[in-house]
A = this chain, B = another copy of it.
Amino acid sequence: MALTRKAPKAPPPRKARLSREVVLAAALELVDAEGVDALTMRRLGQELGRDPMSLYRYAASRAALLDGVTETVLDELTVFADDVDWQTQLRRMAHDLRLVALRHPNVVPLLVTRPLSTPLGLRPLAALRPLEQILDLLIEAGFAPADALHVYRAYYGFLYGHILNELQEFIVDPDENEAILRLGLHRLPAKEFPRLRALGPVLADYNGETELDQGLGILLSGLAAQLSGPHPKPVA
C-alpha cells in the first residue's frame, strides 16, 4: 500500500496526476518535434496516456494551449540584472532570445503571431515581462520614459525581424544546406534574378549571431546618439 501512494514527481509512463506544467511541457515537446499542426488535442492526449478531454482542465481551448506553449518558451529566457552597460545588456537579451528561437524554431510562428490577436495589455504576463524589464533598464540608464519606449520598439522590432530572417535562411543542416540552397537558386530565372543567383555562395555561409550583433550595434548606437540619450557614463 505504501508503495502505491503517489510517486512524488517522477515521470511514470502512464498514470501520474496531470498538471498544467506537465501538459504544456508535453505540448512543447510535440511542437518541437513535429510542428504546430501536430499539436492536436487527441494527439497530445495520446502522448500523455489520457483522454483528450482531460486536457481541457488545464487549457481552455486549443488556442489557449498554444498560448501556453509560447509562454513556456518565453520562460526559458534567463534574466540577468547586473549593472553592466545598457547596450550590452540589451545585446545579451537579444542573443538569449535568438538562442531560444533556434532551440524551438517551430514555436517562432506562434511567438510572432499569437500576440497579434491579443491587445497589448491582455497578454500573458510572461510576454510583457521583457518589455517592462527593458523599459526599466533604459529609464534606469537615463532615458526619458518616452524615449525608452522608442528604443524598445526599434530594438524589439529589429530583434524579431532578425529572428524571422535567420530562420528563413537555413532550415537544414549546413552540410546539405549549400546544395539545397543552390538548387533553389538555380531554379530562378537567370534574367530576372541575376543578383540573387550570384550571391549563392555568400548566402551559404551565414552567421546569424554576428549578423544580429552588428545590426544591433548600429541600431543602438544610433538610438543613443539621436535621442538625448542616457547621461553617458564613460567607462571610468
Considering only CB atoms and an 8 Å cut-off, how many residues of chain A contact the other chain? 68
Tell whether A202 pairs with B157 under 8 Å between CB atoms, given A128-B188, A186-B121: no
Least distance between A92 CB and chain B CB atoms (Å): 19
Q: Which of B108, B199, B222 is A145 in contact with, Cβ under 8 Å?
A: B199
Give chain B residues whose Cβ lies under 8 Å from the Cβ of A121.
180-188
Least distance between A179 CB and chain B CB atoms (Å): 11
Q: Which A residues between 139 and 169 are near B, CB-CB below 8 angstroms?
A: 139, 145-146, 148-150, 153-154, 156-162, 164-165, 167-169
B195–A150 contact, CB under 8 A?
A: no
- Given A154-B214, A161-B164, 15 further pairs, Cβ under 8 A: A109-B109, A109-B112, A112-B164, A122-B184, A122-B187, A132-B194, A149-B203, A150-B211, A154-B211, A157-B161, A157-B164, A157-B215, A160-B164, A160-B165, A218-B222
List A residues at the B interface (Cβ < 8 Å).
105, 108-109, 112-113, 115-116, 119-122, 125, 128-129, 131-132, 135-136, 139, 145-146, 148-150, 153-154, 156-162, 164-165, 167-169, 171-172, 180-189, 192-196, 198-199, 202-203, 211, 214-215, 218-219, 221-223, 226
